[in-house]
Amino acid sequence: MRRTLTSALPHATPGEEVRLQGWVHRRRELAKVTFLVVRDRAGLAQVVLPAGTELPPEETPIEVVGTATANAQAPGGVEVTDATVTALGEAADTPAVELWRPTLETGLPTMLDHAATTWRHPVQRAKWEVAAASLRGFRETLDAQDFTEVHSPKLVEQATESGATVFEVDYFGRPAYLAQSPQFYKQVLVGIFERVYEVGPVFRAEPHDTVRHLAEYVSLDVELGFVRDHHEVMECLRDVVAGMVEGVRRYAGAAVERLGIDVPDVPEKIPTLHFRDALEIAGAPSDEPDLSPAHERALGEWAMAEHGSDFVFVEGYPTANRAFYSHPDPEDPRWSRSFDLIFRGIELVSGAQRMHRYDEYVRTLEQRGYPYAPYASYVEAFRRGIPPHGGFAIGLERWVGRLVEAPNIREVTLFPRDLHRLAP
Amino acid sequence: MRRTLTSALPHATPGEEVRLQGWVHRRRELAKVTFLVVRDRAGLAQVVLPAGTELPPEETPIEVVGTATANAQAPGGVEVTDATVTALGEAADTPAVELWRPTLETGLPTMLDHAATTWRHPVQRAKWEVAAASLRGFRETLDAQDFTEVHSPKLVEQATESGATVFEVDYFGRPAYLAQSPQFYKQVLVGIFERVYEVGPVFRAEPHDTVRHLAEYVSLDVELGFVRDHHEVMECLRDVVAGMVEGVRRYAGAAVERLGIDVPDVPEKIPTLHFRDALEIAGAPSDEPDLSPAHERALGEWAMAEHGSDFVFVEGYPTANRAFYSHPDPEDPRWSRSFDLIFRGIELVSGAQRMHRYDEYVRTLEQRGYPYAPYASYVEAFRRGIPPHGGFAIGLERWVGRLVEAPNIREVTLFPRDLHRLAP
């Protein structure tokens, strides 16, 4: 007999014999009857058993064979009666959290210590269903636009972006580093594939302990060549975010419902502010070099009030304050062809057109007082003909975190890594 | 004017004005005419210019605006005439390899030293187009079967599988390790999602220097719960490989043609041998504990001769010789519920049903004389109700390497990492 998922049980013919597999989600012993709630990847189902039936403890994997029976009170209108319950593994130890409760009332450290159990909760699990659906939408959008998926090495010889925040690795007796981003690789890969994306881990030895930072997270990196300027990169990003939203709607509808979240609409044209105007709207002094979280919140409110948009682009950040490979605005090089995408008041994505000429790189390193040697192999690559290009990076956990309104990014990370946490 | 890809040029209306973007692939100065071959991500196109036209060197990014003109001698039957050529970046330095030659006649070390340029060669680039298409097929197959994509941490506290071959990381002043596989995580994630897959880097501090080993590679990991036995896992793997092949056919047809490779058919039912029979067919002594590369070649030949199949499964490897978490055959625990998939005479995939009971893990660790402490958090997870499950891992580079008949796995790795190589 084939397995019936709990989501298919409401469609079973009454009287039909069915076979469920899943976990003991909850046992309820009443005077005249015992209720068993079975949880599988698709949802929950109710099984009715005689009073006094011995059942294995919560979280034990089981198989239930019984009769599909209409009952308006049961979830989905169908329950299983005349059932035989068989354990498919050992009787589970009582979990540290009560997974059958509608919401978990446990502190975050306990939840993370027991992540492999905690995230079984249907509402908790939904966050990674949303993440997976977002990734499907991300890739579908870029595949349709002729991008090539690549994988760049995570073990690198040089700490290119900023030496202070890299993890050092003992690489066969010599030092190597964990890549902070695929920045170098995705830029040179434009020379091969024109358009590339990568989904992979990035590593930041951030010594601070905040609700927004992780030592390891999943970065969605995109880079495309033959662009006019950063606006073409922003158009691509708009399509990518719209694709991610569409992915969530299409592939994680049930998870969205369980989470009770509001999936945003992505406008055809996302409202766009120059950095100078953004400062003014945020009520910041005109000589601020960057936007603070408070400014970003204000801009999020402005975008919603003025344009009914959950998203707002800020472009033209001060060149001196962006990564050195950002392309300066040719008309006024104090400003750069860079942008951030703010989603509901939080910076979600950073991107830019990059410089593509060797000379510009050499000059910029000099101006910033950076030594040439650590950047040599990166910069030399621009002698081999790299076209105008740009790109962006989306932090997967940050995206999901904002979407589900998680107060701490660790709540949307299966097994977070930070200053204090390296397990499970 | 919109950009025309070289692949679209044959469909342009003769006399139409077109705009190409790409690289100077080759310049040929004849007595009466100058030929320029432009390369973009889609292919090559011929541009005809007056004799003596000054052109930037090979690999310079350019834009060409001109007239589409029918010419039976041109690739695709259409070339560009009356053209203006504009450089889109600096004049490129002469590459270390001549990319316009039909095949590269350079030694592997030179090719790898200049990977960012070497792989621009249309035949070279095709290998990663095949890799990306394989991944699309991999994910499409599993998405359709209700798997959830996950990302497990690469920084881990314990070197679970084998302490000798892990890279150590300085993690905020204490030791951490780079994950050799997501084995532990994918098993416990079965408890959350039932069916999971992950595409990500794995790290092996392999001290040997062979044509088959890398220190970092891309692993395609799959794990599924509620299986009867390993045969259900093998059925899943068969579908996955068929999906990868289908992905290559559908999304990388042009790359397949450039490479001139023979894409295999995956039989509905892949021929399957028990390990004991495999030894006999390979002409090996019946007490051999494992299959050598020569045995695998012999089995590949057998599968082709007897079944016309590029694939053959070997199941039931000796328990003592497989990873400790492999499920022993309940009827004869000397053999395990494990399998390898051999593709054209090379082991491509290893998999198994895993043990799912805490007691079995404790007993197995004892029997093997492994200490409990390093495995504690792994083994403890099985007290929380993990159903019968199994899975497998495919090495992406090994798959592509066998498909394109690369003699060395480094030829199908963008930026390989090994005992000697950490750059570019």
Q: Is the pLDDT of residue B162 over 80?
A: no
Architecture of domain B116-412: 2-Layer Sandwich (3.30)
10 Å Cβ neighbour count for B198? 21
CA distance A216 to A128: 16
Beta carbons within 8 Å of A163's beta carbon, 6+ residues apart: A374
Q: B9-87, which class in CATH?
A: mainly beta
Q: Is the pLDDT of residue B399 over 60?
A: yes
Q: Is the pLDDT of residue B163 over 60?
A: no
CA distance B265 to B308: 10
The rounded mean pLDDT for chain A is: 96
Q: Is the pLDDT of residue A207 over 90?
A: no
pLDDT digits (tens, 9 = 90+) for B19-65: 999 999 999 999 999 999 999 999 999 999 999 999 999 999 999 99
| Residues B136, A143: C-beta atoms closer than 8 Å | yes
| Residues B155, A215: C-beta atoms closer than 8 Å | yes
User: Same fold for the domain at A9-87 and the one at A116-412?
Assistant: no
- Chain A nearest CA to B36, separation (Å): 16
Residue A330 burial (C-beta neighbours within 10 Å; 0-12, 13-18, 19+): exposed
How sure is the predictor about A363, in pLDDT bands with cuts at 50, 70 and 90? very high
Q: Residue A78 in contact with residue A109, Cβ under 8 Å? A: no
- At B406, the amino acid letter reads A
Between A and B, how many CB-CB pairs are < 8 A? Answer: 243
User: Could you give the residue ranges of the DSSP H alpha helices within A107-207?
Assistant: 108-113, 115-118, 122-144, 183-193
Comparing CB atoms, the residue among B93, B120, B158 nearest residue A383 is B93
| Residues A388, B89: C-beta atoms closer than 8 Å | yes
pLDDT digits (tens, 9 = 90+) for B224-273: 999 999 999 999 999 999 999 999 999 999 999 999 999 999 999 999 99
pLDDT digits (tens, 9 = 90+) for B63-99: 999 999 999 999 899 999 999 999 998 889 988 889 9
In DSSP notation, B25-51 reads: EEEEE-SSEEEEEEEETTEEEEEEEET
Are β-strands A216-225 and A195-203 bridged in parallel, bridged antiparallel, or unpaired? Answer: antiparallel
3-state secondary structure B83-104: EEEEECCCCCCCCCCCCCCCCC
Among candidates B52, B53, B62, B66, which has minimal Cα distance to B86? B62
Domain boundaries, chain B: 9-87, 116-412
For residue B203, the chain A residues in CB contact (below 8 A) are: 154-155
pLDDT digits (tens, 9 = 90+) for B357-380: 999 999 999 999 999 988 888 899
pLDDT attached to residue A287: 95
pLDDT attached to residue B180: 94
- At A202, the amino acid letter reads V
Interface mutation target, options B90, B221, B382, chain A, most CBs of A under 10 Å: B90
| Residues B23, A168: C-beta atoms closer than 8 Å | no
How sure is the predictor about A94, in pLDDT bands with cuts at 50, 70 and 90? confident
Place of tokens 């040929």: B28
- Chain A nearest CA to B318, separation (Å): 24
| Residues B167, A167: C-beta atoms closer than 8 Å | no
Interface mutation target, options A6, A98, A119, A149, chain B, most CBs of B under 10 Å: A149
Section A162-186 average pLDDT: 91
pLDDT digits (tens, 9 = 90+) for A51-89: 999 999 999 999 999 999 999 999 899 999 999 999 998
Section B277-300 average pLDDT: 97
Question: What angle in degrees, to the nearest 10, is found between the helix axes of B122-144 and B396-403?
Answer: 120
10 Å Cβ neighbour count for A361? 22
Q: Is the pLDDT of residue A44 over 60?
A: yes
pLDDT attached to residue A90: 86
- B184: nearest CA partner in chain A: A424
| Residues B149, A172: C-beta atoms closer than 8 Å | no
How sure is the predictor about A163, in pLDDT bands with cuts at 50, 70 and 90? low
Comparing CB atoms, the residue among B116, B188, B417 nearest residue A116 is B188
Among candidates B185, B202, B219, B154, which has minimal Cα distance to B378? B185
Q: Is the pLDDT of residue A161 over 90?
A: no
| Residues A41, B194: C-beta atoms closer than 8 Å | yes
Region of poorest pLDDT, from A103-107, A235-239, A404-408, B328-332: A103-107
pLDDT attached to residue B75: 87
pLDDT digits (tens, 9 = 90+) for A368-398: 999 998 888 889 999 999 999 999 999 999 9
For residue A205, the chain B residues in CB contact (below 8 A) are: 172
Place of tokens 């995230």: A119
pLDDT attached to residue A208: 84
Comparing CB atoms, the residue among B129, B148, B387 nearest residue A132 is B148
pLDDT digits (tens, 9 = 90+) for A108-140: 999 999 999 999 999 999 999 999 999 999 999
pLDDT digits (tens, 9 = 90+) for B12-29: 999 999 999 999 999 999
Of chain B, the percentage scoring pLDDT greater than 90 comes to: 92
Place of tokens 């204090």: A420
